Structure 1
Amino acid sequence: MVPYYLLQPYNINLEMKSGTFAIVNSFTYIVCYLAIGKEIPTLIFGTLISVFCIVYIAVALLLAYRLAPNI
């Protein structure tokens, strides 16, 4: 939801107007696809996911508060 909110990818006719959103969305799918089948210990995987989520939430909040008045 954060990329959708910040990048406003669609216009009133539901046509994609933001190339940046498509790039961010594609990057997300590629990262998830590459993670499939990787065998790493559960503790390491859980730690990495937790750190990623904390950083993602912090960056999302910062960007939302800074860019919200401009949107």
Structure 2
Amino acid sequence: MRVHSAKAEIVANVWKLVAHEGQVVEHGDVVAVLESMKMEIPVHAGVDGVVRRIVVNEGQIVQEGDTIAEIG
């Protein structure tokens, strides 16, 4: 099984985790919302699948390219 990583596109704060481990998601579903400079940035699932692992916590600062969730 191939695992896809939903990644942060910008340095930001993890404002809200929308998806949870074990949840079925479809391509384009929001798995998390980041906050940077008062803007909300959604992180979308890039594939259909099951959220295998949430890698971050709400309130955590992430860097561009950091994995938010693994979907397989």
Q: TM-score, normalised by structure 1?
A: 0.20
Q: Which structure would you say has the larger Rg?
A: 1
Name whichever structure is richer in helix by fraction.
1
Structure with the larger RCO, 1 or 2 (CA within 8 Å, 6+ apart): 2
